[in-house]
Amino acid sequence: MSTLEELHGWGRTGSSAAQVARPTTSADIASWVRKADGNRGVIARGLGRSYGDAAQNAGGTALDLTAMHRILAIDAESEPPTVITEAGVSLDSLMRALLPCGLWVPVLPGTRQVTIGGAIAADVHGKNHHTQGSFGDHLEWLDLVTADGVEHRLSPDGGDPDLFWATVGGMGLTGVVTRAKIRLQRVESAYFTVDTDRTRDLDDLLTQMSTGDENYTYSVAWFDAVTRGKGLGRAVLTRGEKAKLEDLPAKLRRDPMKFAAPNFGTFPDLFPSGLVNRATGKAFSLAWYFKAPKHRVGEIQNITQFFHPLDMFGEWNRVYGPPGFLQYQFAVPFSATETFAECVREIANSGQISCINVLKRFGEGNASPLSFPTPGWTLAVDFPITSGLDQLCRRLDELVLGVGGRVYLAKDSRIDADALRLMYPRLDDFLAVRRRVDPDGIFVSDLARRLHLAVL
């Protein structure tokens, strides 16, 4: 049973209609894969948090895996501890199950509303990539239904490692992930000790991150992309560690594993176009910058404060109005700091407004040919869809490509096949695996068609 539904990404742009099926077992998935039409094919979908068209399949089938949400086994005694889950389990549900056991998910993106399958397909990263890598680095194995309808167990060291690494970061184009075994970390609390610094400008920010991030497991900066001139790139830099029991005040020690996840309601779908503009963007940026302390050490923050402040607001993407928004996330090498600064200047001078701007440092990447993280700076900016945005993005593409950088496919909705090939030099490695396991192109998405990944 499937229903025709209009699907879009978190940016709420470029929607398309697909038949949506909701399998509950691996056998269900295999059945849908076997009968998928080779021209329009099938793609897996989770909670819809890819910003663009990665989990859409115009005229084809989308397999909504959210009904496959069982946590199958938690092994708190092994070293490291592990968990086995179905692919439709959300990070939110997993964290709630693990914390009472004193266990922690090793990599968290900017929202908990992501499935395990989606975290693998996008090889998500968090504030700790410079110290602990991306999601795929913490997998012991995954189960994958390939185009022949057969389920395979894959691992990084055996059981077809090339297919394993093509699946990690492969945007669902090698098959459907059904289960995974994830290595975990131990924690004494659900809190973090956080140091905050307010930086004067972009140079000050990059200097502080370059010389201090190695002392912290987690590091992230929000910066002002609206203010021009002397204050360009001024920022609020927050860095932290998992809090030990002894770090907590007496009140919090009584329930150190409390999962603090306040919800202030869901935004209605009533916001007009143009709400995010220069006036509101400047007001927000000023407030966000000056509400932060100039320097504060050792503040105790909960999970939502430190990792997922936007999760306090349901459907916050509606604030951008009917046209939606575009998140542009790119990475450039550390050696290209001047080019990075030029990107920031281009954004600030463009007239396009971004209030949610996140800067992190990446460490070494992994063996996945399409994984986004690569050593360097990564910046994510959110723009409402307005006139002139495409020109800005093309200019940013030019700068990023000029220094060997790349954009994040989980956030992208606009680059073309030529740009992809330049940004991901191991693309042919990925395509070779894809041809081997899916010679008829059964697994396909709107993103795959746009980037010519559906043509084998």
Percent of the chain topping pLDDT 70? 99
Type of residue at 324: G
Assess whether 126 and 268 both reside in one domain.
no
pLDDT per position as a tens digit, 168-191: 999 999 999 999 999 999 999 999
Backbone angles phi, psi at 424, to 5 degrees: -120, 90
Q: Is the pLDDT of residue 456 over 80?
A: no
Decide: 181 and 155 in contact? Cβ < 8 Å.
no
Please report, for residues 84, 141, 217, 367, the alpha-carbon distance to residue 133 in angstroms, rounded to integers and kept in the order given: 20, 17, 11, 11
Decide: 32 and 21 in contact? Cβ < 8 Å.
yes
Decide: 386 and 424 in contact? Cβ < 8 Å.
no
Quick check: is 86 in a domain?
yes
Assess whether 247 and 358 both reside in one domain.
yes
Cβ neighbourhood burial of 240 (10 Å; 0-12, 13-18, 19+): buried
Rg (CA), the chain: 21
Quick check: is 60 in a domain?
no
Domain count within the chain:
2
Quick check: is 240 in a domain?
yes
Quick check: is 85 in a domain?
yes
pLDDT per position as a tens digit, 118-173: 999 999 999 999 999 999 999 999 999 999 999 999 999 988 999 999 999 999 99
Assess whether 206 and 135 both reside in one domain.
no
Assess whether 250 and 132 both reside in one domain.
no
Quick check: is 54 in a domain?
no
Its pTM stands at 0.97
What pLDDT does residue 81 have?
98
Domain encompassing residue 124: 71-187
Q: Which CATH number is 178's domain given? A: 3.30.465.10
Instruction: Give the 3-state secondary structure of residue 299.
Output: strand
What is the rounded distance in angstroms from the CA atom of residue 397 to the CA atom of residue 418? Answer: 12
Assess whether 169 and 197 both reside in one domain.
no
Q: Which CATH number is 367's domain given? A: 3.30.70.2520
Decide: 37 and 108 in contact? Cβ < 8 Å.
no
User: What would the two tokens of residue 285 be?
Assistant: 């940026």
Quick check: is 39 in a domain?
no
Assess whether 199 and 318 both reside in one domain.
yes
Q: Which of 33-47, 169-183, 274-288 is modeled with the greatest confidence? A: 169-183
Assess whether 156 and 195 both reside in one domain.
no
Backbone angles phi, psi at 408, to 5 degrees: -90, 120
123 torsion bin: left (phi>0), alpha (psi -120 to 50), beta (else): left
Assess whether 352 and 272 both reside in one domain.
yes
Quick check: is 7 in a domain?
no
418 torsion bin: left (phi>0), alpha (psi -120 to 50), beta (else): alpha
Assess whether 117 and 242 both reside in one domain.
no
Assess whether 169 and 277 both reside in one domain.
no
Decide: 227 and 282 in contact? Cβ < 8 Å.
yes
Assess whether 101 and 148 both reside in one domain.
yes
Give every strand in the sheet of 176-183, ordered side by side: 71-75, 82-86, 176-183, 139-145, 151-154
Interstrand relation of 218-223 and 295-302 (parallel, antiparallel or unpaired): unpaired
Assess whether 77 and 156 both reside in one domain.
yes
Mean pLDDT, the chain, rounded, equals 96
Residue 211 neighbours by CB distance under 10 Å: 9
Quick check: is 446 in a domain?
no
Decide: 443 and 147 in contact? Cβ < 8 Å.
yes
pLDDT per position as a tens digit, 389-409: 999 999 999 999 999 999 999
What is the rounded distance in angstroms from the CA atom of residue 197 to the CA atom of residue 185? Answer: 28
Backbone angles phi, psi at 158, to 5 degrees: -170, 170
Type of residue at 134: S
